Structure 1
């Protein structure tokens, strides 16, 4: 387990070190894709793009729009023809383009050659250009590229996170959009539900529109209503074969589904495990509910949700609300898991609960996407502060099993969340360009999985230890009595109960011991005790102790039944019959060993008797002493049953006896009537 945690630590340390370098750059295998980013890796230039602020004027076009016979999935419609999307730019739109414009950086952060930001004030940009802008680039695809690199003439354009709406044109022809549509008029202000800030776009390029060995024109109309990384910012932008893009899209969805399924399974399994071993803890509830919100948050970050709910504003609302609930429940999970929910920590936890509840409810009442995004942006810092405060709680609960693994998962999640916050800020000092929240979820899930594995191993050892304890106890008690003792159902101290007590003594064993070596004596004694003990356990008795060559057993504790006296007498009769077989088994003459047995029934004190360091579960009292006297005054080969035990066992209706006597027993002022029972009749 230690080795597993060490490997886990090394892997995540390595990922953390390379995240700022390799993940944001997304350096891809260019043998299968055509990378469209202006910056493929740090210090290396990429595709050349131009940018023109504002929307495009319309140009007159006759006829209907058709994608060609090669792509029947595209319907024929009458589109709007934008001048900026044409293959050849007209005189009215040739001017105003900014060449070398960066994508993967929002347009309000792109700098010119002098280091000045082109559009520093977003509100001025919206006022002047209505939030629209156009990107344009030239792409050269050869026949050799289709044959050896793409290995297909059916291509797909992948656009990463675009804020906040777009429409795409290939060689002047509309091929798809998100938020905008083919007939959205110029300078139209979209409502918030049409803004898809984090959606990854996949647009199929009709094969009939792909030109080989000459320039293709890709034009993208973008709209940003709020200063939320406007334009082509973050993530990957490339052209690939349709098969490759389907695999990429499938893999992106698979990662989301994997996280969803993993968290739900972990939550369910952890709930089962905690209820199985720690019924008094609330940590299980918090983690299980948190895993549900983790799954919801991941689902609403996936591309799957856009095909179900076509409202970008509500998608973000539910995503953010689920994240706030997730943080709240995970915080409570760690506090409960660390078992430090007392004093000022309890009061602080209540304050966090109230704050989380208010934040969760507030999300659904925020009026627009910008307010929602800024609210969540600042709440991300609250998340980080809560995560850092957990360090002290983790320190207090450091002795809790598996706390180290869980705390490391929390640390990884905080680091990766900070990456997303810094990417959103697009600071020059932080070159990251890729959101990694999925990795944060996965990292925490893996850490909890490791903690569950660790706890399962510890639980397995505990079960094995309990099994060994049961095996040890089975040498002294019947299975029913043993289960009662293991479950700690026996009360400390003693209590009065009606008890049936049996004493037996081996007649002839002293003489046998004088004539045989000690090893032979011990072997024979163990054989006798083993056979008689099994018989006693069959009758659900508590085997109290071995006293030399004598046995003491009792019925009525810790479990009491109406047949305790009956079982005691029946067991005694069977023991006499068993003794005849034992002599044969040992190869000894008949009657070499015989039993004297006494059985009594009456009130006695039963419980754990002794001291704190050494105690026995036994019975004491006059009824027990009477049974011992009956055995000592008994007849070898016969069962002496007191009148109290005889009547409690059912009397002559179920017991047959050869004679009855009145015996004067030591310590008794009056004689005791004794029945010498020879047979016990069956009863239900």
Structure 2
């Protein structure tokens, strides 16, 4: 809870405040380096006046100027000259212009002084004017503007999103176009692939066409085939220095590339996280796929894509397909992240996945841009319903760690998506004209990233805690048993295995304990056990238990090898050598403490023996009892090895001994042959 409050105050609250301010001041450019051309007012100050003329312009037939451009297929083509683009309008084309016409609002949304729509029916407009219209405005650029504002005579014109094609003229000369070329004839109906409603236009103003301290005429020929916010309807419109616009265009591309690279990296990171830590779940996989689709969606929204594809219709199709995939992957992510197991939610999720597949197919098979846009517009309201369902799912999974963080991000995601829907609808009460899809997903991504980071921190703490637990358990259990305990793979029961068992007892310790204080006795015993335990672990044994001053260890479980008997005998020999060193280390006379060691090899039961509440990982059976009897009948300072262990270790080829005996052991009907081993030879 504390983490969520800190997150809200540190990240979410400033983001909401910044977003709220951007909605209020979306039309205000806080810079003195541009000349704003938008027609709306800010702080009571009129920004710019435009005029609008429905329909296409007649061509100028008598024209002596020769404007040509080179077409790769057609060769040299002469430009068409339009009457509406001329600096001075002839008497025949001066009438019919609507002055004070607002840009940043589709021409089918603009009202006159009485509040009546100028063009209430786009289809009537299309039938009468073939979808064409012209915007005109006069721009006076002073010497002071050149010197103080632009600091350059190389100027650039930025026109935001124009629906759906345009050609731009400066003082009667064509300076650029998108969809409409300078030789596009009057009333020509363009194909959908030539419609670019989302492309931001940057047109350089030729130096020789620029007039200083006198009016410049900007004329924009627009074409809208469908009722999708026709005309100059979105974003920023201004004049700036070419260097400034170049930086702005570079910054827009940089933001898109940054989002693309970041989301792909996040997707790859979440996949890595999935395979590394969360193999039992697939929530992170869905978020990874969502991140990748967001990267693709950002690419198809960016200006970069126009240098790759020239078909505006297919760019829009691919953008919508990636957006459909993004929404459905995020829905699946949250359902799985919240660990919602209800049957009806699973069934609903399947239907939603099916709807996503159908939506993607419909988008790809859309016959025209109008059908595509309308379908996606209504599908956007479907995503709002999904958002409402996800809020309920988030509520059900509210106890999941980090769910609060993800919920904040999802809430910001939904709110910013609503912004884009309202912008598309161009409702007058909603002041924004800017799409914020990238920022919407970024807000959600940041929240999920923070939750992942928090989970990583918690996992790191868990790993540290597990490490401390291992260190604590290592004082009581052998490494193999400790790993079994930590992995929580413990259950009652056992299995038969060939086990090498070692028993050792300290000779002389009882006498020492009678003559010394308990503290000294305990200190010496701990020193002996620590040294011998390290040696036993060195030979990969399982240290079963300490029995008074005795040690029991075995080889062959949990891991079994062909060298178990060999390692048991080698360890026993080294323990006898180590006991000599321990006496010296404790400052005792040689032989004060000696070891009696017995080693046997044979079939035994190994496993967790006891009860559910209290169990020991140990070995039982006749082979174990025989090892204990060998130790009790052994000779101090010697290693007593049964014939079974001697042969399993490789016999005389690897084991040297000084004597053999036949011992009658308790519980054995036949004598047991015992080898008193002195040396173990190295093996390959």
TM-score (ref. length: structure 1): 0.95
| 2:67 matched residue in structure 1 | 65
Residues 384, 235 of structure 1: CA spacing in aligned structure 2 closer, same or farther, 3 A cutoff? same
Deviation readout 1:557-597 (Å, 9 max, x if unpaired): 00001111111011001100111111111121100111111
Residues 98, 202 of structure 1: CA spacing in aligned structure 2 closer, same or farther, 3 A cutoff? same
| 2:338 matched residue in structure 1 | 338
Tell me if structure 2 keeps the 8 A contact 1:158–1:239: yes
Distance 1:481 1:152 in 2: 79
Residues 669, 478 of structure 1: CA spacing in aligned structure 2 closer, same or farther, 3 A cutoff? same
Distance 1:242 1:230 in 2: 28
Secondary structure of the residue aligned to 1:63 is: coil
Distance 2:388 2:507 in 1: 77
Residues 120, 42 of structure 1: CA spacing in aligned structure 2 closer, same or farther, 3 A cutoff? farther
| 1:18 matched residue in structure 2 | 21
The alpha-carbon deviation at position 647 of structure 1 amounts to 1.8
Distance 2:495 2:15 in 1: 60
| 1:315 matched residue in structure 2 | 315
Runs of 4+ with >6 A deviation: none
Is 1:348 the equivalent of 2:351?
Answer: no
| 1:410 matched residue in structure 2 | 410
Secondary structure of the residue aligned to 2:535 is: helix
Distance 1:30 1:298 in 2: 27
| 1:84 matched residue in structure 2 | 84
> What count of residue pairs does the alignment treat as equivalent?
675
Distance 2:404 2:278 in 1: 19
Is 1:52 the equivalent of 2:61?
Answer: no
Distance 1:464 1:43 in 2: 62
| 2:30 matched residue in structure 1 | 29
Secondary structure of the residue aligned to 2:24 is: coil
Tell me if structure 2 keeps the 8 A contact 1:406–1:444: yes
Secondary structure of the residue aligned to 2:587 is: coil
Residues 76, 238 of structure 1: CA spacing in aligned structure 2 closer, same or farther, 3 A cutoff? farther
Secondary structure of the residue aligned to 1:110 is: coil
Deviation readout 1:316-364 (Å, 9 max, x if unpaired): 0000011111111111111122222441111111111111111101111
| 1:70 matched residue in structure 2 | none
Tell me if structure 2 keeps the 8 A contact 1:502–1:597: yes
**Ranges in structure 2 where 5+ consecutive residues have no aligned partner:** 70-74
Is 1:591 the equivalent of 2:591?
Answer: yes
Tell me whether 610-619 or 326-335 shows the greater mean CA deviation: 610-619
Tell me if structure 2 keeps the 8 A contact 1:477–1:537: no
The alpha-carbon deviation at position 482 of structure 1 amounts to 4.6
Deviation readout 1:429-460 (Å, 9 max, x if unpaired): 32222111111121111112112111111121
Secondary structure of the residue aligned to 2:88 is: coil
Distance 2:531 2:655 in 1: 24
Tell me whether 82-91 or 522-531 shows the greater mean CA deviation: 522-531
The alpha-carbon deviation at position 509 of structure 1 amounts to 1.3
| 1:621 matched residue in structure 2 | 621
Residues 558, 40 of structure 1: CA spacing in aligned structure 2 closer, same or farther, 3 A cutoff? farther
| 1:385 matched residue in structure 2 | 385
Distance 2:157 2:477 in 1: 76
Tell me if structure 1 keeps the 8 A contact 2:492–2:612: no
Tell me whether 326-335 or 41-50 shows the greater mean CA deviation: 41-50
Tell me if structure 1 keeps the 8 A contact 2:274–2:282: no
| 1:464 matched residue in structure 2 | 464
Trace 1:131-280 onto structure 2 (pairs within 5 A): 131-280=131-280
Is 1:292 the equivalent of 2:295?
Answer: no
The alpha-carbon deviation at position 286 of structure 1 amounts to 1.7
The alpha-carbon deviation at position 42 of structure 1 amounts to 6.4
Residues 5, 639 of structure 1: CA spacing in aligned structure 2 closer, same or farther, 3 A cutoff? farther
Secondary structure of the residue aligned to 1:138 is: strand
Distance 1:43 1:666 in 2: 110
Secondary structure of the residue aligned to 2:159 is: strand
Tell me if structure 2 keeps the 8 A contact 1:166–1:178: yes
Deviation readout 1:284-330 (Å, 9 max, x if unpaired): 32222222211111100000101111111000000001111111111
Distance 2:615 2:278 in 1: 28
TM-score (ref. length: structure 2): 0.95
The alpha-carbon deviation at position 46 of structure 1 amounts to 1.3
Distance 2:315 2:355 in 1: 23
Distance 1:604 1:43 in 2: 95
Distance 2:566 2:490 in 1: 24
The alpha-carbon deviation at position 660 of structure 1 amounts to 1.6
Deviation readout 1:449-493 (Å, 9 max, x if unpaired): 112111111121122122223323433555566545544566642
**Ranges in structure 1 where 5+ consecutive residues have no aligned partner:** 68-74
Deviation readout 1:477-527 (Å, 9 max, x if unpaired): 555665455445666421111111111111111222222222222222222
Secondary structure of the residue aligned to 2:351 is: helix
Q: CA RMSD in A?
A: 1.8
Tell me whether 572-581 or 643-652 shows the greater mean CA deviation: 643-652
